Structure 1
Amino acid sequence: MKKVGIVGSSGYVAGELIRLLINHPNVEIDFLFSHSNSGKKVGEIHQDLLFSDLKFSSEINPNIDVLFLCLGHGNSKKFIENHTFSKQTKIIDLSNDFRLKEDAFFQDKNFVYGLVDFQKKEIKKADFIANPGCFATAIQLALLPLAEKNLLKKDLHIHAITGATGAGQKLSETSHFSWRNNNVSSYKAFTHQHLGEISETLNSLQKDFDSKIHFLPIRGDFTRGIFASIYLETDLELDAVFSLFENYYQKSEFVFVTKQKVHLKQVVNTNNCFLQLEKIDGKILITSVIDNLLKGAAGQAVQNMNLLFDFPEKTGLELKATYF
């Protein structure tokens, strides 16, 4: 059994991570670090975990096997600077502190970008993982097979709508029920922070990639999930594109390619990504759907942990969608 610690354990992503790890057969949760909730039972904060006897703590065990950092962006670096762990401790960070190549080396640590279907071999050999962003995961999975074959020659147009949990648990003007309910809005048009990691991954596969990425993120009137639509011009026929995607993901445990219409209920509460392909008027349309809290965050983090410790990749992640 591997001992696990979670820092920043009161948010939405941490709640999902705790839920997954409680049911993981190869790990034991050693501590849930939280100054503000120390001494409280986990079910007082994450009410779906009312059955659990786990408690939040202000104490840290430096000798755990894996540390998950579920902190706000910018705070993971501060935490690592102020705390020391054993040489055996692997770290999986869910913020954006180490995702870009210019940030990957920190102190004596080299963080490997944890997009599993992009570089599984590198992840298996790593000690420190930078878990990808949720939008970045959905969008990159829709583009990896094309980038590998040097086919991203035209501008990319992306429209992606996300649930309210994507904004985190802390209340803001746009996360209040009275504002969010029966409402849709855009934000960070063409400037979203996930564009950096998307571009770096695509450039790693397609060295001459210099196409523009036109990305419109949308706030949706629902709780969780990302529905991303990506289109670009191509001379390839649909069957040829479909074969590229099937070949690329033939060994993937959680990415599935289809010509059927997809929707969020198929993937919410799972670690799956469904990719739908269409060809319309000289354009390939790729629809990518994931659960932003699982495949886009906690689920992918557990998938990375499974790879680090050579557990079967699907361990603890064979979840059924909440379809009805």
Structure 2
Amino acid sequence: MIKAGIIGATGYAGAELVRILLGHKEVEIKWYGSRSYIDEKYARVYGNMFQLVEDTCLDDNIETLAKEVDVIFTATPQGFLAGVLTEEILQNTKVVDLSADYRLKDVSVYEKWYKIQHKSPEFLEEAVYGLCEINREKVKQARLVANPGCYTTCSILTAWPLVKEGLIAPNTLIVDAKSGTSGAGRGAKLPNLFCEVNENIKAYGVSTHRHTPEIEEQLGYGAGSQVTINFTPHLIPMNRGILATEYASLKKVRQKDGSMGLPDYEQIKEVYDRYYKHEYFVRVLEKGVYPETRWVEGSNFVDISFQIDERTGRIIMMGAIDNLVKGAAGQAVQNMNLMFGFPEQEGLELVPMFP
């Protein structure tokens, strides 16, 4: 049994961490950190935790927390962890950061897209990008894991096998993604009020969304060269879920008869199956079946499918996740399981909820 602390426990991702960890056989939550609710009962903040959590919310003193727990989850705004992390903290505990502070290796890129100064760039080289299906072995050895963003998790895993195998031209990639409102966090914001969101869909962060360089960097590792994409997120009136629809030009490959031609369905499906057949949390759907957010809600699954458009020589790739689980808290627990040698699925065998 290990001890865990959560800073930012009263945000949506933090609350999801609590829900998941309460069902984890190997973890005891010792610290419910929340700057906004210090000394208030956690179950008063989230009534679903009545008689399940008796603890009171504490502050965000990470130095003290690091001496009391084996792992810290920081479900905090950008800049928090980078402003307080020290070598002493990492010598005392392991950290899974749900913010973007250590996702990007180039500090200048981080500062350009997030508009804040990075206060501890000395840890960027060490930090492991915690997309388990790609960086599993590195995560196992890590002290500091940068938990990927929700849009990025869905976008990268949906395209990764085809980028890695050179079956698409990565610089032609267009990612059109839609997210439920919980992705914007729990803070009160005018654009997220019910009357502003209900009966509406809108694009935002057009050509400027901060997950863009994260997707580009990781897909660039797969492609072996710099990747530039178009990424456009949309807000839709539902609580949870992300659906990413991705478009790219197919590249010609050598066929069985020695000629060069575009890959067909069977060739593409073989690649997806080869990459993901041993990945419990990635479900490659059957032909003609496309991902829907309702079939992954409340779970750590990623559902993926594709359709070849022979007329244009392009492929449409589709992926769906729950942004609070595989896109945040579930992935953080998956990373923790790897870091401590627990079964990767422990605490995460969550059956999708419907309706």
Coarse TM-score class (shorter-chain normalised): over 0.9
The superposition leaves residues 304-323 of structure 1 with CA deviations (integer Å, 9 ceiling, x where unpaired) of: 00000010000000111111
Aligned residue runs from structure 1 range 231-250, under 5 A: 231-234=247-250, 235-250=262-277
Q: Which amino acid aligns with 1:92?
A: V
Q: Which amino acid aligns with 1:304?
A: N
Deviation for aligned residue 1:61: 2.9
Q: Quick one: percent identity of the two aligned structures?
A: 33
| 1:312 partner SS | coil
> How far apart, CA to CA, are the structure 1 residues paired with 2:246 and 2:221?
20
The superposition leaves residues 13-55 of structure 1 with CA deviations (integer Å, 9 ceiling, x where unpaired) of: 0000011111111011111122331222211112221222122
Among 180, 204, 210, the residue aligned to 2:197: 180
Pairing 1:54–2:55 present: yes
Q: Which amino acid aligns with 1:176?
A: L
Deviation for aligned residue 1:287: 0.8
TM-score (normalised: structure 2): 0.87
Q: Is the 8 A contact 2:199 2:237 kept in 1?
A: yes
Aligned to 2:142: 126
Pairing 1:3–2:3 present: yes
TM-score (normalised: structure 1): 0.95
> How far apart, CA to CA, are the structure 2 residues paired with 1:102 and 1:231?
27
> How far apart, CA to CA, are the structure 2 residues paired with 1:67 and 1:216?
32
Aligned residue runs from structure 1 range 95-106, under 5 A: 95-103=99-107, 106=121
Q: Is the 8 A contact 1:138 1:290 kept in 2?
A: yes
Among 150, 158, 162, the residue aligned to 2:179: 162
Aligned to 1:13: 13
| 2:224 partner SS | coil
Aligned to 1:73: 78
Aligned to 1:213: 229
Q: Is the 8 A contact 2:66 2:92 kept in 1?
A: no
The structure with the largest alpha-carbon Rg is 2
Deviation for aligned residue 1:199: 1.1
Q: Which amino acid aligns with 1:90?
A: K
| 2:273 partner SS | helix
Q: Is the 8 A contact 2:90 2:143 kept in 1?
A: no
> How far apart, CA to CA, are the structure 1 residues paired with 2:217 and 2:345?
27
| 1:288 partner SS | strand
Deviation for aligned residue 1:209: 4.5
Q: Which amino acid aligns with 2:78?
A: H
Among 171, 194, 204, the residue aligned to 2:221: 204
The superposition leaves residues 169-218 of structure 1 with CA deviations (integer Å, 9 ceiling, x where unpaired) of: 001121101111111111011221111111111111211354x4111110
| 1:295 partner SS | helix
Aligned to 1:93: 97
Q: Is the 8 A contact 1:253 1:313 kept in 2?
A: no
| 2:127 partner SS | strand
> How far apart, CA to CA, are the structure 1 residues paired with 2:34 and 2:76?
11
Aligned residue runs from structure 1 range 126-145, under 5 A: 126-145=142-161
Q: Is the 8 A contact 2:90 2:144 kept in 1?
A: no
Distance 1:186 1:127, change over 3 A: same
> How far apart, CA to CA, are the structure 1 residues paired with 2:198 and 2:41?
31
What is the aligned residue count? Answer: 322
Aligned to 2:255: none
Q: Which amino acid aligns with 2:336?
A: M
| 1:192 partner SS | coil
Structure 2: gaps spanning 5 or more residues: 111-119, 251-261
> How far apart, CA to CA, are the structure 2 residues paired with 1:86 and 1:160?
35
Distance 1:243 1:108, change over 3 A: closer
Distance 1:256 1:107, change over 3 A: same
> How far apart, CA to CA, are the structure 2 residues paired with 1:246 and 1:85?
41
> How far apart, CA to CA, are the structure 1 residues paired with 2:217 and 2:176?
20
> How far apart, CA to CA, are the structure 2 residues paired with 1:186 and 1:108?
34
Q: Is the 8 A contact 1:189 1:216 kept in 2?
A: yes
Structure 1: gaps spanning 5 or more residues: none
Aligned to 2:296: 267
Q: Which amino acid aligns with 2:231?
A: F
Q: Is the 8 A contact 2:82 2:101 kept in 1?
A: yes
Among 308, 313, 318, the residue aligned to 1:287: 318
Over the aligned positions, Cα root-mean-square deviation in angstroms equals: 1.8
Q: Which amino acid aligns with 2:157?
A: L
More helix by share: 2
> How far apart, CA to CA, are the structure 2 residues paired with 1:35 and 1:295?
25
Q: Which amino acid aligns with 1:185?
A: K
